[in-house]
Structure 1
Amino acid sequence: MQFKNIITSEEAFEAFCEEIGKPSELAANKVISSIDAHCEAFIKKSPFLTMASANNNGECDVTPRGDDPGFVHVIDENFLLIPERPGNKRMDSAHNILSNPHVGLLFFIPGLGETLRINGKAHICRDPELLDACLAKGKRPLFGVLVEVKECYIHCAKAFLRSGLWKPESWIDQEERPSVAKMIKAHTEFDKKTEQDIERSLEESYAKRLY
């Protein structure tokens, strides 16, 4: 397929940005290089984040992480630890981090349109004392993602306002939602499992293997 008017150089994009305009003084100066008291308070109220990572070829992943508010352990103004709870065992993010340590985090607080963005350098951490601070339901994570913070800043609420994400009245009805079991069966082409088998497997995993 042929696409028209694709920008392929920094110079061309900079010229295009002249049409967009410059960021406001507030936006241009909002980035800080460490976790201050305001960022720490935001993180402690957040039950959910997404983490972007990439391997050394630049191939990217974004993964969700969630638990009770405060599940991310703020160690000090320069470091935080994200506990690794049980998942699908693919370990995509961990493999990426080992080849390219740069990560981007986006912290959410339900009902709040603004999010907290943190960029930094990540490490796979098995420090027992740090993992003890991330106990959940009596279980200690096997490892955590230790992030050395380089940038922190608030992202505006425009995407949430446009999407109506936090407005229940905008949510589609249950019967209109995509069937995850149907999608998984189609993607895996695994004939030995029916959609009902996959649904039961997911329900069992959610009920018994969260921690």
Structure 2
Amino acid sequence: MVLKLKGVIKTGEQFEELRSLCGTPSVRAANKVISQLDRHCREFISKSPFLTLATSDSKGKCDVSPRGDAPGFVTVLDDHHLFIPERLGNKRLDSAGNILGNPGVGVLFMIPGLGETLRVNGQAFICRDRELLEQNAVNGRSPLFGIVVKAEECYIHCAKAFIRSGLWNPESWSSKELLPSAPQMLADHMNLPNMSAEQVAEGLNEGYRNRLY
């Protein structure tokens, strides 16, 4: 089945059509981008317990992956480089594999309760520096590797998306009974024989208890 939609913009030549539709950015928006991790970026990163990492492979296939730990888990190495430790995960290596084929990345840092976010775009590479890995050990376990990002663009992003979504507002949250069931989703998507949602839930909970690091 082919999806047929009207008004689709697909080529770079049509960018000016978008520009005429949306207008031009304000001086404030145009001038807010800096090329280094200044004291404001460093403070924001030191208080952030969560980020999303956007990557794409050499063919442009995209991926975005969450990373989280205690506030300040990302180390700012200097004015242009930061280090993201790679904790235990699903072993798919989606982000790392993409970086090896295409080093361009985008990082979005978040702080709970703060609507504004920090965006850092740049070039990344895989790092196994032993001293750096040992510095990022938790519960006596060092990460096997980390991701170093050379910052090329850094800027604060406004809070409109968080305000509209009510993400940090508990009153807007659904009750737990109405939330999607991750174990059921996994069981249905994997479609493996003799693998029930209850068994998936047990495996998830065991991993959350014993295999965070």
Q: Shorter-chain-normalised TM-score: which range?
A: over 0.9
Q: Which residue of 2 aligns with 1:177?
A: 179
Q: AA paired with 1:57?
A: K
* Unaligned 5+ runs, structure 1: none
Q: Which residue of 1 aligns with 2:18?
A: 16
**Aligned match of 2:41 in 24, 35, 39?**
39
**Aligned match of 1:29 in 31, 53, 57?**
31
SS of aligned partner of 2:64: strand
Shift in Å at residue 19 of structure 1? 2.8
Pair 1:91-2:93 in alignment: yes
Q: Which residue of 2 aligns with 1:129?
A: 131
Q: How does 1:95-174 map to 2 (within 5 A)?
A: 95-174=97-176
Shift in Å at residue 185 of structure 1? 1.0
Higher alpha-carbon deviation: 118-127 or 7-16: 7-16
* Unaligned 5+ runs, structure 2: none
SS of aligned partner of 1:121: strand
How far apart are the structure 2 equivalents of 1:166 and 1:96?
31
1:47-69 CA-to-partner distances (Å, cap 9, x unmatched) read 00000000001001100000000
TM-score by length of 2: 0.97
How far apart are the structure 1 equivalents of 2:206 and 2:10?
48
Q: Which residue of 2 aligns with 1:201?
A: 203
TM-score by length of 1: 0.98
Q: AA paired with 1:136?
A: V
Shift in Å at residue 156 of structure 1? 0.5
Number of residue equivalences: 211
Contact 1:73 1:133 in 2 (8 A): no
Q: AA paired with 1:8?
A: K
